[in-house]
Every structure is written in structure tokens, then in C-alpha cells.
Structure 1
Amino acid sequence: MSGDNFASTLQSKMEIAKQVSEEEKLHKYKGVLYPRIICPEGHLKALDGFAAREDDVMLVAYPKCGFNWMVAVLRKIIAEATAVKTAANPPPPLIEFMGPEGLKATDQNPSPRFLGTHLHPDNIPASFYQNKTKMLVVFRNPKDTVVSYFHFSNKNPILQTAQSWETFFSNFMSGDVPWGSYFDHALGWDKKMDDPNVMVVTFEELKQDLGGSIRQISSFFGFSLTDDQVQKIQQESTFSAMSKTSTSSHGNMGNVFFRKGEVGDWKNHFSPEQSREMDDAFDKHLAGTRLGAKLGYQLYCQ
């Protein structure tokens, strides 16, 4: 699917969503909420038989942790390292969006295939672990994540419209949002931090040193880049640069997928009580974990 076709398909799904009631927009599969229009039960069931390859490039992120930004960065890394030109503005490669026919078509694609998902690590098809597929996992501090998720939900008709910031915050804290609990995802990946086929990078690290992150990510996937190539990718992959080209890659939804990309925007939304509630939740779930330390919570969230 080309970028133009993806944008057209996305727009079509948006129009369908406008005719669907708020209650019907989400459904539960194995206890986790998903957007029904783009992740129906048939799509999720079809993933059980998906055959991953050892040389697949797999990108994983909880929603609004930097997935679309990293899609663009990884595509540039692959293009520079392999000298293989990809289609202009190809779509984000989420496996749960593909459905049986899309997965079948993906099975015919040449290596290295670029794939992605928002799924919890326990719900990713077993073949990714069995075949030792390398997975890049992107996380972001939870306070900025929930703010970005709130705005995304209100601007994306495929998802339920948040009645208020207070309601969405409460749902986020209880895990009643699409793709489930942020903390469950974080704990799941914390258990895999020693897996040599898993690399965890944070949104904040990417913002602080994008060039260094590009080098580390390239090395992780076995790609070799020159300093000039790294510099080129870095210049073309700042959040502001990606925002400027988002219309061509995501159509009318470009400004929704690429809103601010800031660290610390949570301060414009959280009440003191909400801040304490998130602090307590972080301490309960992630204090003392390796991923918790990597997120730099005290630096970015207090």
C-alpha cells in the first residue's frame, strides 16, 4: 500500500467512524480494549498464525510514545543502509491493522520487512520470540503519554471522544483505554530488558540525542551507517521536520499524529492531585525497575 492509498484508506475509516456510536467504537479482545473499526476481532485472531522472520525489523510502542516518529526514522535508516528505495510515504506498519489479507500479502514481501505494533509483549505473535526477531521498543514518560493520548483521542474519530481530561485521565490510570494499561506494557517490557533481541529507547532520549540514538538503533539491527548518513537522517528526522511532511504521509490526520512532540507538556494539564496520583502509580509499579530508571521519572515528571 502506498502512502497515498494509506491516507485514502484512513480517511475512509474516519468517515465510517462518524456513523458509529461512541459505545461501538471500542471492543474488548482477551480483556484489552481495541478500536473496532481498524482492529476488529478477525484482525487480532489472524495474528496468531503470523510467521515472523529473524531479519524482520520490528518497532513496538505503547500508543503516543513516539511510534510514528520512529517509523519515519527507521525507514530512513533502512533506506540508507540497504540502498533500497521504499515507496513514497509508505504507511505505518502496524500488524494489528492488516487483517488476514494484509498479513498474507506481507508474508510475500522481501526481507528486511519493516513491521510494527502497539500490542502488549504477551500479545505479540509467538513467532517473533521463537525466531529471535529484533524488536525496538519505544517508551515515554507516562505523564506526557496520557496528555498526548487525550488529545489524539479527541481528534481521531476512530477512537472514543474523551468526555473530559478528568475522565480520560481516570480511564488511563485504570487501563481502560485502547491497547490497555501503560503500566502493564511497561512491566511486560521490563521483564525483557535482558533479551539481546530487545532494545528499549525512550522518547526523551531521542529528543536529547537523536544522532546518538540513530547510531545505536542502526547497530542493534545490524545496519552500518556512515557519519554523513547519520547526520542526514538526523536532520530529516527531527520532530519539527516530520510534522512538516506529515500531511503527505498521513493526509488530513497529519497534525493529529504529530501534535507537539514536547517533553513536559503534562504541566499544562495535570492538577496537583493528578500529579500525585501518577507519582504514586509509578512508585507502585515501576520504582526499582530498570525501565523505570530509564524513563527518568524524577527528571521529567516531578
Structure 2
Amino acid sequence: MEKSRIKSVDFMVKAIAAANTMHRDELLFYYKGILYPRTICSPETFKALESFEARRDDVILAGYPKSGTNWLSQILTDLIAISQKKTPGSESSLIAEEQEVISYLEVGDAEKYERMTKLPSPRFMVTHLRPENLPESIFQNNAKILLLIRNPKDVATSYYHFSNGMALLPSYETWDDFFTDFMTKKMAWGCCFEYLSEWNKYADKENIMTITYEDVKENPALSVKNIAMFLGIPLTEEQLQLVVERSSFQSMKKNSDKTHGSFGNILFRKGGVSDWKNLFTEDQSKKMDKVFEEHIAGTKLGKRLKYDLYCKA
């Protein structure tokens, strides 16, 4: 297993074991009005996160759960390795200190941010948090943020399967039960539509690049090239192809045992587009259309999602 992943996998194994001993109603807790998984997040960690000092050259991947953050993490990790003159996937591309740090900003113990001060630049972080719950220093110091969004019907579908496979989250007997919770803001990390609405306020900032899951799926090479340009990382054609190849769904699923341990199969299920058509009833589809129309449709992020193309039957 890649060394930099060991700490994260070990942490998750312990968190899952703890979650397996808990009642369904105990798995999530509220912090500032939003639900989070109890065994991987804590009020103490959120409090410590407030004083986290971001660097200007930090690279942050922001995305609502099940928007493709594991996929884009692979791309960004490889691009950063290339920027450091290292070969993606090689032992030399791994930093010893990373064993002590879990890449998800809000996940882990409250002391992790002190350990992060020792990491060399550029530091790479992932977050599912809404912008108002991120440390102010991220925006004050203009850290680079890649904002990943995905059509909400596929997000809901993927989240449903994930919830039923991952012990950290409450499971559901039926899709209908899940859909009700998804639409009534009872999900870990909050409401998908509120997430998009809040991030839309930041979409025009120069240090933020928005990319959609569907765009990366449709043209991986162009997407990787655009991300590299945004980060100021020059790529040879050979390097570009290597990053694209290593981040393909087939490649990541094949290597998931090495990268994500026993829960790799839960993370890498299908990696497709329009799987929502297998679950949504016509009524549910119309309900989500209405909410999207009311809250997101006319916004910059709403337009980027190409909702009519990906979310209309």
C-alpha cells in the first residue's frame, strides 16, 4: 500500500469499527446546524480548524460528498508530484510526513493542523465543507481551490449506495426513505442545494476554478490540461497521458485495495453518468427539478451543471 495512504486507511478502519458498535441514530451529530459523521469528525476538530493558517500555494479540492472527490484527488496528487519533479505513483513521490495527515481537511483529530505546518509546499487538501465553514485564511491568502460539482440526481444516487455500504453513515431500507432525507437536509455535510448555492457566491474569484464531474468524464485529457494550467504546472504529452491513465475509473478501481484498503469497493462503484434513471420515480424527478429551479438554475454553477442535459429523462 502506498505509504501516504496508510495513516488514512488505518484511521478509517478504526472509525468504521467504532461506527459498527453504534446505533443508527448515534452516527451523525450537528455542528452549526449541519450533520457530520461522528466517528471521523468532531466539534474539537472543527474548533481547531478555525485557526488553521492556509498558504497561498495550498491546493484545495472542494466538493459535496459523492461528487467525485476521490477521483479528482488522484489527478491532483499526480499533478503535484509532477510539479515537484517526481514520477506519479513512485515511492519518491510520497512524502513521509503525509503518513500523519489525512487529506480531508475536516476529518481526523484536532492536533492534525499542527502536524500540517510541517508539510512542504504545495500542500494538498480535500473538503466537503461549505465555504462559510472553512477557515478564513483560505480566502484571505487566496489559496488555489478546485471546486468540483456534479449533477444532483447522480449525487443522490451515488450517496444512497454509499450510505448503505459505509458503516460511518446511516443506512436506508429503501431508496424512497433516502430520497426524503436527501431532500429535507438530513444528510451528512448538509444539503446539496445549499452547498451549491453557498459556493456560487465564490464562483467568480480568480483563485477558484469550477469543474464538473461530467466534463472530466467526457474529456479527461482536456480537463487534466485545464487543471494543470490553473495550478501553473507545465505538462509534457507523456505526463498528461500518464495522469489520465492513472485516474481512469478502471485503473483506480483496480488499485483500490492498495490506495483505499478494504473500503475501496465502496468508493469505486460505477463511476458513470445518468445512473439516477435506475432509481428516481417520475414524481421524485419532478420534485428535484423544482428545487433545482428555485435555488440553483439561474446561477453560474447551475448553468455549469447542464441540468437539462444530464437530469431530464
TM score, norm. by length of structure 2 = 0.93
Which AA in structure 2 matches 1:34?
Y
Q: Distance in 1 between matches of 2:199 and 2:174?
A: 30
Alpha-carbon offset, residue 6 of structure 1: 2.3
Which residue does 2:70 correspond to in 1? 68
SS of 1:154 mapped into structure 2: helix
Which residue does 2:40 correspond to in 1? 38
Which of residues 89, 94, 103 is equivalent to 1:86?
Answer: 94
Which residue does 1:167 correspond to in 2? 177
Alpha-carbon offset, residue 11 of structure 1: 1.2
Which residue does 1:4 correspond to in 2? 6
Q: How does 1:221-232 map to 2 (within 5 A)?
A: 221-232=231-242
Alpha-carbon offset, residue 127 of structure 1: 0.5
Residues 44 and 99 of structure 1 are in contact (CA less than 8 Å); yes or no, is this contact kept in structure 2? no
SS of 2:94 mapped into structure 1: coil
Which residue does 2:201 correspond to in 1? 191
Which residue does 1:250 correspond to in 2? 260
Q: Distance in 2 between matches of 1:54 and 1:191?
A: 20
1:276-295 CA-to-partner distances (Å, cap 9, x unmatched) read: 11111111111111111110
Q: Distance in 2 between matches of 1:163 and 1:38?
A: 24
Which residue does 2:90 correspond to in 1? none
Which residue does 1:141 correspond to in 2? 151
Aligned residues: 302
Which AA in structure 2 matches 1:40?
S
Q: Distance in 1 between matches of 2:154 and 2:250?
A: 18
Which AA in structure 1 matches 2:20?
K
SS of 1:99 mapped into structure 2: coil
Which residue does 2:224 correspond to in 1? 214
Which AA in structure 1 matches 2:154?
D
SS of 1:52 mapped into structure 2: coil
1:180-230 CA-to-partner distances (Å, cap 9, x unmatched) read: 011111111211121001111000000001111111111111111112211
Which AA in structure 2 matches 1:259?
R
Q: Which segments of 5 or more consecutive residues in structure 1 lack a partner in the other structure?
A: none
SS of 1:49 mapped into structure 2: coil
Q: Distance in 1 between matches of 2:174 and 2:83?
A: 45
Which residue does 1:151 correspond to in 2? 161
Which residue does 2:54 correspond to in 1? 52
SS of 2:50 mapped into structure 1: helix
1:7-40 CA-to-partner distances (Å, cap 9, x unmatched) read: 2221121111111111111000000000011011
Which AA in structure 1 matches 2:197?
L
Which of residues 271, 274, 282 is equivalent to 1:261?
Answer: 271
SS of 2:77 mapped into structure 1: helix
Which AA in structure 2 matches 1:143?
K
Q: Distance in 2 between matches of 1:39 and 1:92?
A: 12
Q: Distance in 2 between matches of 1:244 and 1:92?
A: 22
Alpha-carbon offset, residue 49 of structure 1: 0.7
Which AA in structure 2 matches 1:86?
L
Which of residues 200, 218, 221 is equivalent to 2:210?
Answer: 200
Which of residues 14, 19, 32 is equivalent to 2:16?
Answer: 14
SS of 2:106 mapped into structure 1: helix
Alpha-carbon offset, residue 92 of structure 1: 5.8
The percent of aligned pairs where both chains have the same amino acid is 40
Which AA in structure 1 matches 2:48?
A
Superposition RMSD in Å: 1.5
Alpha-carbon offset, residue 87 of structure 1: 4.9
- Determine whether 1:102 maps to 2:104: no
Q: Distance in 2 between matches of 1:218 and 1:60?
A: 16
Q: Distance in 2 between matches of 1:166 and 1:126?
A: 38
Which residue does 2:89 correspond to in 1? none
Q: Distance in 1 between matches of 2:196 and 2:221?
A: 25
Which AA in structure 2 matches 1:70?
L
Q: Distance in 1 between matches of 2:119 and 2:297?
A: 42
Alpha-carbon offset, residue 106 of structure 1: 0.7
SS of 1:53 mapped into structure 2: coil
